[in-house]
Structure 1
Amino acid sequence: MKKVAYFTGISFLITLLIACADTTKKEKPTLDTNKEEIKELATVKEDIFDLRNDSIIFNSATIENFDKDGNSQTVFWLDAKKDTILRFYRKYDANKKLIGAEYYEVGDIEPSRDTVYTNSEGKKVEASLREGKISWKSTITTDKNGNPVLKTYENSKGEYRGIDSLYFDDQNREIKGFYENSKGKRYGIKTYKYTKSDENGNWMERNMFVNDTLRQKHVRMLQYHE
């Protein structure tokens, strides 16, 4: 059985980065009628670099693949040595609605499983399963554009375990976020400054600040469906 702290970290990683198809395709650029129709993303590779004492150090990367309808299909996480440490496969129903996922960590023979459903309040819930039972879940509140502005976490007993609060700009890009635990302790506030986008309006480079101190640079390589 995986340690709770490690399991929680994986759960946060999934929900913060790409736990649902909505969170990766944040950008919804305005279509320029003088250009060709914007193509759907096929693959997004994001490299994360730590910035320390004027040095740029590779930290990790993700590779995410999309179908021609813009639905995220697979995600692979790479560590600082560029070894794959997590493989993530999304599951959809016949109407292409996201209903869950399976993922493998290093050494796994059988996958861990997540489920996605809508609760009685009409909010999306992403839950991690262990032996068929919910062990951790996040309830997602969205803004009018569908961006996940609040994620409320609970453990298997339904006990409140904290929140992620996220803020987005008018291009639906995340610009600020923080985690607050169940005791009200707020951790470092992350803010993002976008420095480069492609011709379709999807960002390619951004800087991440923690409590106003520059900590990381994120670089994306984007491929589109023909």
Structure 2
Amino acid sequence: METPASSPAKPESPRPRALFLTLTLLTGALNAIGFLALGGVFVSVMTANLALVGIAVGGSDPDLARNSVVALAGYIAGVLLGARYGERCERRNRPGVRTLLGSELLLLCGVLAGWLVSDGSPAAHLRTVLLGTAALAMGCQSATIRAAAPPEVSTTYMTGLLTTVLADLLARRRPDWDRAALLAAIPAGAALGALVVGTARTAAPLLPVVLVAAALTLSGGGPGAPGRADPG
């Protein structure tokens, strides 16, 4: 019989599950777009980007080094700003998560606007700006989920979640399908992102905008809203 310590913290209703799944699909899609069209780096996988910085230095690749550092800086800024705002909302007993998701939506709309202006082929300087903005949005999302989700839920980095799922499997515990769905959402979102880059490149960043707009709708108040969606 499973002990309480091994039981995962889980969303309480279908709506938060759908919210976290939608945001994870968004992460996969935006990472694919960033990797394929914004400089060969990731906008939420900072472990990989740290490794890419080392690879760039060792291989004397200044473009890869610059892109990796831009993604790292954008993500860190998003986490710090989002966490700071969430803490202020908590102290003042005010809702914060919907505002953070709204900020992420505005950032991704900015990415889409810059992308459309350049007809899907931004010049190097604009590509750097779009990459940093996308990473900033992902950092903001990480701060949002830290405020809204159970402690073991993540929508932007999956190494810890994958480790937990494999440990549970090895211990022959009952499968946690919510965790499995989140893991599956990353490659599914990445496949969608790669598909739109390959078939509708000019409108590719519209996919993340649609997904974060859907997440913002799902985050609305009411009995189906996430238990910590309004951290104040």
TM, length-normalised to structure 2: 0.29
Structure with higher RCO (Cα < 8 A, 6+ apart): 2
TM, length-normalised to structure 1: 0.30
Instruction: Decide which structure has greater helix share.
Output: 2
